[in-house]
Structure formats: structure tokens, C-alpha cells
Structure 1
């Protein structure tokens, strides 16, 4: 299974990045860099939620709506601007995935991407239904019938054999409480990962200042 970062580097991913940037009035390169950082964080949040039976059942229920069909009509989704229903849906997804950590996560993503915090929130609201569509499509293709299978799908999209440092980075962001105290630690993780030539740590290091 291709990972979420592989998807962003594909032709489909470029269409997603271009559409999100256009819909939110943001620079395409900065939007791509932000999504490369944010989507694994959101998927890790979903994976955490799916680790409980109740959370997994809730995610399965949501995927009945987000079945992947959005990926087949991205021109329609982005055409003329993303409608309010989709943005509201994205906001609900973020609230469910991140809970009271949402402000802290958006603050760190803003710090590392150079995009203001309000615009980060708008980008994530537009991207969230697409991300759910990606998950829904993979779930459908793998014929996942039970909540227990969701974690495996999420793990595959994240890269099932991700290094502990990378998983720690994602967990660190998700544990942000919005007071800014974690930013220096996260920055150190990002920059420290720059020596790696592959994997999420290396990618983030390259995108956000590591050489």
C-alpha cells in the first residue's frame, strides 16, 4: 500500500495540493509543504482514536459517508471554490480527530510552515474530507469489514515500519496543548531528522529548514 506521502508526490497528490492552495488563496509550495507535515499527523490522530473499540466503530461509521468517491471528482470538489458544507464537514473531522489538541497542533504547523494559524486551519478543513476519502478508498479496496482492520489500514498509509523517531514526532505534535512549550522540542526533532535521507523525519527536515 502506498503511504500518504507517496500519494502527495503523485499526480493525484499534485491535483490535491493545487486545489487546496487555490481554494484557500495560499502559495502552492507552502501548501504542499504544510500538507506533507499535517496529513501524517492527522492520520496518527485517527490511528490513536481507532485504538479503542468505540473510536474504531466511530471511524468505520464515518467511512460509510467518506467512501473515496471524492477522489474521482476533485475537479467538481474544487470547482468554483469548496462549498460551505465541505468546509463544515472538514471542521467536524478535525474536531473529532484532534479534540482539545487542535489549537496546539495548528499553532505548531503554523510555526513550521510559515503560514498564519487561521490559514492553516482553513487548509486543514479543506484537506480533511479528502484525507477521509483516501482512508475510505483504502478500506474499501482492502474489504475491511470490522473496526479492528482500520488500524492496519492507517498503519499502512503512515508507513507500517516507520522509525520510532518519526512516530515520536507525530505523537509529540498531537500532545501539544497550545501553550507553545512544545515548539522548540518539535523543531529539534524536525531539524534533527534532516540527516536522514528517507522517511518522514528526513522529509520534514528538508521541508522546514533542515539541510
Structure 2
């Protein structure tokens, strides 16, 4: 069962914090807790709706990751201090704008109506938003949640908020019914992939027959031969000082309209990171102590500012499809990443489109779409210094991460 964020918030705020908030906003003292739950539920409903777009969930993940956590140990003092309260509500107002857009004011009015005609609905939401973001931020950092896990966590809140959102909210969000709220988180591949169908697993196991008995020993032997071969190359290079062995690197040079040459916009690992995808990924699958958050870059090239694949072939994608076919219990997440250069909203959209492209390539190779999610991370997860051109190039990538493996 998902963590109940409403109960978590009430525990973190405590009776003293709720009383202080009620006093600061002029809410009836005996309705403080129910008012807080209404505000929190409204924010969570807005996040579910926001996350239903392809780029919306990525934007929420960035908001949660970037939010500064509240000090709940002194939350009552924050609510009682006008200066701190003003700063908190200013931050909350920006969050509400990110969640609800231009509808934040109308939704504040709906909350006011739910509070028996109080005019403090908007003010309450400006506190509820930072509280929700702070709780989610702690869960993301503490449990190492990724964007798919965050989407699943949000979906798990539906049963807790159902009877606590204000009347008219779904209509304001253009959602036809409560059951439809957040449904597209699954449709767009943000929530955890479904488990493979049992009959598919059974059929694949029958097909493999006795193959599994000698597959892994053969793989280990091949890996050992590869390592010996690399050692031999290094020794040869050491014996022949004049000879340098270079790793191959594919580069696309594109010309801008004014004739200037621009660097390639690729999602390929740089030379020092370029390892055999098939070998490293397969070895990872054999390790029972594997890091669940480890990502593997896929070598694939795109046109600048586009999700159009420019390479004639994509060996890593082909290899990934083969691995998925060989392991029917494997589900994965394809994640698109960009550098922090340029507009973040456009980066988010571009990273989503590129992840979608790779997912579609796998589907076209016969992979069940339920086994693959596609998520655009934008610039939320850099792996290198974004202040250098080399770092930016490393941050522009498509990666694959294991979600489940049986």
C-alpha cells in the first residue's frame, strides 16, 4: 500500500502546527485538521492531473526534487512568524502556478467554498503546496524514488483524497470523473510497467528448454575471452610506443543555416564511457546484488533539437530487444535526458519525445509495450558538469534502467 501523505502531513504538522496555521489564516479552530486535509487533497489532485501529460510528470519530478524541505520540528513557529509565513506562501504560490497554471485562483475559490464560505482557500493552498512538496521530496531522496516510482506514489493517493477534494474541482480540471483522474500516468508509461502475462512467461520458458543450462557458463567464458583480448591489446600498445589504439566514436556534424558547424546532438556515451552494452547489461542482470538505480546509456543519435534518429542502425537498441526477448520477466524504463542548456520546458518535451522514440523502436521489434516505460527527465539527472561542453554532451543521453527482473 502506498504511503498515505495526508496522514503523514497531519503527523508532521502536529496539533500545535495545525492550531498555529488555523490562527494565522483565521480558520475555525475546530476545523483546522479537516481544512488542512482539504487543501492537501486539492494539491494532490492537481498533481495527478498535471502528471497526466507526457511532460507534466517530468515537471512535477523536477519540482519535487528541487523543493527545499520544511523544518517540521519548528513548523508552528514558521506559521506564527509573518515574515516566514509570507515567504512560505510566495513559494507555495509559484508551486500552485506550476501545478494548476492559470486556474490556481479559481481553485482557491473552490477551497474557500468548501471551508464554509471562508475566503482563505487560496492562502491555505499556498501552504499546502510546500507541505506536499516537502513530504514528497523527503520520500524521493530517502527511498531513491525515480519518476516512475513518484507517479505510482501519486496514483496511490487517490483512495485517500477521494472524499476530501472540494466540489467542482474535477470540472475545473476538465476531468470527467474521479476514476479518470491520473489515468494517463499509466497510459503515458510513467507508472510502473505491468507484470508480464504468466502465459507469455510459460511459453518462453518452454521454448528455451535446456538452453539455460549452458547459456550462463558460455556467457562467462565469452566475457573472460573478451577481457583477455583487451589485456593483450594493452600489452601490445605498451610494447609498441609508436602505436596508439583508439576507440571508435561515431560523430555527426551538422551545419546551421548561417553555415556554422555545430557539435552533434546525440544520446551516445562518450569515448571513455563507451563499453559494450550487451556485455555490461547482461553481466548486470546476473548480479543478485545489482544496484536498482543503475542506468545504462544507449548509443543512438538524433538530429539537433529533434527526436528523429539519424543513425542508419541502432545496435544497442537491437541488443536490448534481444535481451528482453530472452528474459520475459524483465521490464525496463527508457529515460531521456538533456543538458541544462536552453528552455527547461522544451528540454523536458524533447527528452520525452526521444524516450518515446526508443520505446516505439522496441515495440516495433515485438516487445510488449507493457514491459517498457518511457520518461523524459529533461535536465533533472545530470551525470557530468553541465558548465562545460563535454559535460553537456555527457548529460544528453538515452538510458535504460531495470524495473523488474524475475
Same fold (TM over 0.5): yes
Establish whether residue 173 from structure 1 lines up as the match of residue 169 from structure 2: yes
Specify the alignment match of 2:106 in structure 1.
Answer: 104
Offset at residue 48 of structure 1 (A): 2.0
TM-score by length of 1: 0.66
Q: Residue 175 of structure 1: SS of its match in structure 2?
A: helix
Give the Cα separation in 1 of the matches to 2:32 and 2:169.
19
Specify the alignment match of 1:29 in structure 2.
Answer: 30
1:30-109 correspondence runs (5 A): 30-66=31-67, 68-81=69-82, 82-109=84-111
Offset at residue 132 of structure 1 (A): 0.9
What is the number of residues matched between the two proteins? Answer: 172
Deviation track 1:108-154 (CA, whole Å, cap 9, x = no partner) reads 2222211423x21112212221121111112222211x322221122
Counterparts in 2 of 1:18 and 1:97: CA distance versus 1, 3 Å = same
Q: Residue 96 of structure 2: SS of its match in structure 1?
A: helix
Give the Cα separation in 1 of the matches to 2:154 and 2:127.
20
Deviation track 1:20-68 (CA, whole Å, cap 9, x = no partner) reads 2132233233332222222112112112212334212222222233254
Question: 8 Å contact 2:9–2:131 — kept in the other structure?
Answer: no
Flag structure 2 segments of 5+ consecutive residues without an equivalent: 174-406
1:150-169 correspondence runs (5 A): 150-156=150-156, 158=157, 162=159, 166=162
Shifted more, 90-99 versus 11-20: the winner is 11-20
Question: 8 Å contact 2:35–2:115 — kept in the other structure?
Answer: yes
User: Greater Rg, structure 1 or structure 2?
Assistant: 2
Establish whether residue 130 from structure 1 lines up as the match of residue 131 from structure 2: yes
Give the Cα separation in 1 of the matches to 2:75 and 2:19.
11
Question: 8 Å contact 1:110–1:120 — kept in the other structure?
Answer: yes
TM-score by length of 2: 0.37
Give the structure with the larger strand fraction.
Answer: 2
Higher relative contact order, structure no. (Cα contacts within 8 Å, ≥ 6 residues apart) = 1
Question: 8 Å contact 1:70–1:130 — kept in the other structure?
Answer: no
Offset at residue 101 of structure 1 (A): 2.9
Question: 8 Å contact 2:46–2:99 — kept in the other structure?
Answer: yes
Flag structure 1 segments of 5+ consecutive residues without an equivalent: 178-211
Offset at residue 76 of structure 1 (A): 5.0
Deviation track 1:61-104 (CA, whole Å, cap 9, x = no partner) reads 22233254533442453352334322111111112212233233
Cα RMSD after superposing both structures: 3.2
Give the Cα separation in 2 of the matches to 1:141 and 1:155.
19
Give the Cα separation in 1 of the matches to 2:23 and 2:138.
24
Give the Cα separation in 1 of the matches to 2:109 and 2:52.
26
Give the structure with the larger helix fraction.
Answer: 1
Give the Cα separation in 1 of the matches to 2:77 and 2:35.
23
Give the Cα separation in 2 of the matches to 1:88 and 1:103.
14
